[in-house]
Structure 1
Amino acid sequence: MTEQNLEEDNKIESLSSNDVLTTIYDVNRAIFRHLPIHSIDLCSLVCKSWAHVGHLIKTHRHTIHSLTYPTDPLSTIADSSYLLSDFDTFISCYIHIHLWSIPYLALVVTTNSLDRKGFHSSSDCSLRPAKYPRRSHSQTTASQTERHNISEALIHHVNKSCKVLTVVSDGIIASNDKNQSNEIELNDAVGILLLPKFPPNILGIYPFEITNKTPISNNMSRSDLHQLLGCVPDDISIRCVILFYTPRLLQTQMNNCIKKLLEYYSSEVVIIGGYINRSRYDDRQSKHKTLLNNACGLVLTGDRTHLNIRQVVLKSHIQTREAVRDKLKELKSIENEQCYLSFGIQVSCVGRGVDFYHQESNVECSEFQKLFPNTSLIGIFGNGELGHDYLLNDNEASQQQQRTTKESLKDLFHTYSTIFSIISLRM
């Protein structure tokens, strides 16, 4: 036996069982860090030790995912895109390979046409005996085909704690898994933004739904307003409200809601939203039937040291790519560059698409992507836009000036405009 072998044997004998276990634990943890969620879940079934490591890894992951179905939505869409099996295959593949964090909320935008068609599943009954041989062919086909809306198709793939908020509009803006954004006006497509659960001081996410029968009185308290908007705790300040609603049924309620937001938060709250065709919200807990014409949205909270929100309005006079780029540059800040995670919201008028830019597509979202190449973007084309410029700086005087600038309800509503909001997180 050589001297080197003797030395190695002595080192092995000097290691205690605790040292070996600690080394194995560190190795497992290092390996788990490179695995997607699906693989970690499979590994967690091996033993308690692996399950413990997997739990710790998943708890500390905070990745924002974006995907578009189909991946190239501006190309000609084949008939198979409406088959539930194709959508299932696409989502399953993405989750098994790319899902890095457990989703807490799925924000879904879908085109009106695709929502009406839905995804269709059909069962192969060729090997089954015919119960009703006298049925016509059309009757048999109808009985074998089921229609599923976007929410129903997606819910089967996400964890049971993931809430799903679906917004339906004539056109959508969505990013695929490579952060390539598209403004989809004519083709059928769905965009999905998967947000994990963050520490509350970094980002609190409170989805909400408001029916047309919900009373919003002029004397509503701040606490009641918080309960209305996703049950936000009274001791937490609302930083941003993303609001979607149908104009005919909920105009009065939404106006009253926005008035109360401005009353209690003045200009400290960021408001963005627009008119949509319909929405669906499934909190995965209540058993009531989902309605289609409710207002819905998200409330965002978080400490100013961790959560930075900036927003600009591209008004009707901004009509060239250069003007769009100059306006979007106002969203750039030192905070944006230093933040680890971010996502963007775009709400555009249906009149600001391809026709507005002389048959050039993706003008506005592509300019945003050039400035923020690592930021996922999601949004809608609506029939009215809700928002305002919000460019809060670190300068204390600028902050104080913005707080004292009182905004009115009419200042928030626009036509032929686009509103961009970027939400940046410093972890």
Structure 2
Amino acid sequence: MEKASKKKTRNTKRSSEEKMTKSNETEVETEGPNFGEHITYDVLRMIFEYSTIRDLSRAALVCRSWNEAAKKEKQTRIWPRHFLCNFEPGEANHHSSRSIHDDLFIDPCIGLVFFGRHLKSPIHNLEFWVSDCLYDHLSRRINSITIWNYGLMYDGIEKSGNVVCGLFLPEIPGVKIRLFSMDMTDIKNFRTDTTQKIRDKSARELCGISPDEDNIKCIMFFLNQNEDDIVANMLNIKHILKSFHRTKAEAPNSPAKIALWGGMSLNMRAYVGATGDKNCTETAAVAGISICGSGVSTWSIVLNYRIRTKAQVEKELTTFRDAVKLQKHSVGFMFACCGRDEKWFKERHVESTIFRKLFPNIPLVGSFGGGEIGTSTIPHECSKGILHEYATAFLIITYGSVRNTK
């Protein structure tokens, strides 16, 4: 009996100690402020303004209120994001594809990436890009085009070599942005001996545009020089583009001019994230981006081979600036002939520098190629036609609320 009594006493003491321990743990857990109760929704939004997209995605997993605040913050971020990176190992400003992703403050849905290269070297950075693909780190929803060419430009600086620049756009209210690609079969099968109505319908299908879409603003169109039959089928390509660009004499009831912009690349990859496949290693004969909707405006101009001096460039781009009506968010693109370099103007960075001087708040990215595609959305005598040589094509995409730029 005495042993049973001692055993019962020990069990009671142990039970009491366990209760005391649990009580102390509870007190420790509840000490200090309860941040979940004291951080209001408005405070969360203020904090999230300084968070990258990666951090916002993590914060959204905390609880329902954080998820809502993070989601609303993402929806406000509709500005473009452009970047310039040096991929040369050992350089002081060396970057990785991962670093581009980690610095993003927007959730991109479409991207356009340009590689520069040395004129006498092979496309040596192709293998690097595939091995450290940027799209391995981005959302599966993003669609993008990667272009290799003779050089690139970024905010007034023209470069070649193992560098890359690019631009991402998020989803924009009232705007439909679609990536499209074509193989040589699509181009060869485009019928040029039919009525204009049938050609227009076929061209819309190839460019991912609905047949009843009546608010087409821009077609960005790129050709892959690496495809053997691309030059032999230029007539069909011209007819595809002409479906989106006809003069008033040809189509008196046509709506406002559609901006066409692009050119020839040395090599090209199209990445369609919606499929879930990493198919950016597949080449495309033709790839592009169509932009439609009432929430965006586009402006373009072509400086052809007659524009040969710095004064002429400034005059033409000043006329362009005076015609453009900018909105809250804008981005500029430039596609120039590789021959329009310092040998053409007797100095470097002429056209890109003048553009940045006239549009100081607009980011500029682009490429130097061997053939240009472009139309002018403003009255302009020096840029008739669609396909050009020794020319430079500029494009401005602007969206958001209208602002006074004068």
2:357 paired residue among 370, 373, 395: 370
Q: How far apart are residue 350 of structure 1 and its match?
A: 1.1
Measured against aligned partners, the alpha-carbon deviations of 1:110-168 in whole angstroms (never above 9, x if no partner) come to 1245882237xxxxxxxxxxxxxxxxxxxxxxxxxxx4435952112211211121112
**1:238–1:301 CA contact under 8 A, matched in 2:** yes
Q: Find the counterpart in structure 1 of residue 5 from structure 2.
A: none
Q: How far apart are residue 258 of structure 1 and its match?
A: 1.6
Q: Which amino acid aligns with 2:165?
A: G
**2:199–2:240 CA contact under 8 A, matched in 1:** no
* 3-state SS, counterpart of residue 332 of structure 1: helix
Matches for 1:74-153 after TM superposition, within 5 Å: 79-80=89-90, 86-88=94-96, 91-96=97-102, 98-112=103-117, 116-118=123-125, 147-149=127-129, 153=133
**1:331–1:422 CA contact under 8 A, matched in 2:** no
Q: Find the counterpart in structure 2 of residue 34 from structure 1.
A: 50
* 3-state SS, counterpart of residue 243 of structure 2: helix
1:198 paired residue among 145, 149, 172: 172
* 3-state SS, counterpart of residue 355 of structure 2: helix
Q: Which amino acid aligns with 2:285?
A: N
Gaps in structure 2 of 5+ consecutive residues: 1-35, 402-406
Q: Find the counterpart in structure 2 of residue 169 from structure 1.
A: 149
Q: 2:332 and 2:71 mapped to 1: Cα distance?
A: 29
**2:217–2:297 CA contact under 8 A, matched in 1:** no
1:351 paired residue among 339, 353, 365: 339
Q: How far apart are residue 87 of structure 1 and its match?
A: 3.6
Q: Which amino acid aligns with 1:192?
A: G
Q: How far apart are residue 348 of structure 1 and its match?
A: 0.8
Q: Which amino acid aligns with 2:332?
A: G
Q: 2:328 and 2:216 mapped to 1: Cα distance?
A: 22
Which 10-residue stretch deviates more, 48-57 or 25-34? 25-34
Give the alignment's Cα RMSD to 1 decimal.
3.1
1:240 paired residue among 204, 214, 218: 218
Matches for 1:196-275 after TM superposition, within 5 Å: 196-199=170-173, 201=174, 203-214=175-186, 215-218=189-192, 219=194, 220=198, 222-232=200-210, 234-246=212-224, 249-250=229-230, 251-262=234-245, 268-275=257-264
Q: How far apart are residue 267 of structure 1 and its match?
A: 6.8
Q: How far apart are residue 209 of structure 1 and its match?
A: 0.6
Q: How far apart are residue 50 of structure 1 and its match?
A: 0.6
* 3-state SS, counterpart of residue 90 of structure 2: helix
Q: Find the counterpart in structure 2 of residue 55 from structure 1.
A: 71
Aligned residues: 344
**2:109–2:170 CA contact under 8 A, matched in 1:** yes
* Residues 61 and 391 of structure 1, relative CA distance in 2, 3 Å threshold: same
1:315 paired residue among 291, 304, 307: 304
Q: 1:195 and 1:258 mapped to 2: Cα distance?
A: 24
Query: Are 2:378 and 1:391 equivalent residues in the alignment?
Result: yes
Q: 2:81 and 2:46 mapped to 1: Cα distance?
A: 22
* 3-state SS, counterpart of residue 107 of structure 1: strand
**2:314–2:354 CA contact under 8 A, matched in 1:** yes
Query: Are 2:91 and 1:66 equivalent residues in the alignment?
Result: no
Measured against aligned partners, the alpha-carbon deviations of 1:240-290 in whole angstroms (never above 9, x if no partner) come to 111111355232431231233336858722212211112110102444685
Q: How far apart are residue 54 of structure 1 and its match?
A: 0.4
Q: Find the counterpart in structure 1 of residue 61 from structure 2.
A: 45
Q: 1:416 and 1:216 mapped to 2: Cα distance?
A: 28
Q: 2:324 and 2:315 mapped to 1: Cα distance?
A: 19
Measured against aligned partners, the alpha-carbon deviations of 1:371-399 in whole angstroms (never above 9, x if no partner) come to 1112111222121222222227xxxxxxx
| Greater radius of gyration (CA) | 2
2:330 paired residue among 342, 360, 370: 342
Q: Which amino acid aligns with 1:155?
A: Y
* Residues 115 and 373 of structure 1, relative CA distance in 2, 3 Å threshold: farther
Q: 1:151 and 1:221 mapped to 2: Cα distance?
A: 40
Which 10-residue stretch deviates more, 274-283 or 227-236? 227-236
Q: Which amino acid aligns with 1:352?
A: R
Q: Find the counterpart in structure 2 of residue 181 from structure 1.
A: 156
Deviating above 4 A after TM superposition, structure 1's stretches of 4 or more consecutive aligned residues are 20-23, 112-115, 263-267, 287-290
* Residues 301 and 59 of structure 1, relative CA distance in 2, 3 Å threshold: same
Measured against aligned partners, the alpha-carbon deviations of 1:198-218 in whole angstroms (never above 9, x if no partner) come to 11x2x3211111111112113
* 3-state SS, counterpart of residue 62 of structure 1: coil
Q: How far apart are residue 108 of structure 1 and its match?
A: 0.5
Q: 2:280 and 2:140 mapped to 1: Cα distance?
A: 18
TM-score by length of 2: 0.75
* 3-state SS, counterpart of residue 44 of structure 2: helix
Q: 1:211 and 1:361 mapped to 2: Cα distance?
A: 36
Q: 2:171 and 2:51 mapped to 1: Cα distance?
A: 19
**2:156–2:364 CA contact under 8 A, matched in 1:** yes
Q: 2:53 and 2:302 mapped to 1: Cα distance?
A: 38
Q: 1:374 and 1:267 mapped to 2: Cα distance?
A: 26
* Residues 112 and 210 of structure 1, relative CA distance in 2, 3 Å threshold: farther
Q: How far apart are residue 325 of structure 1 and its match?
A: 1.2
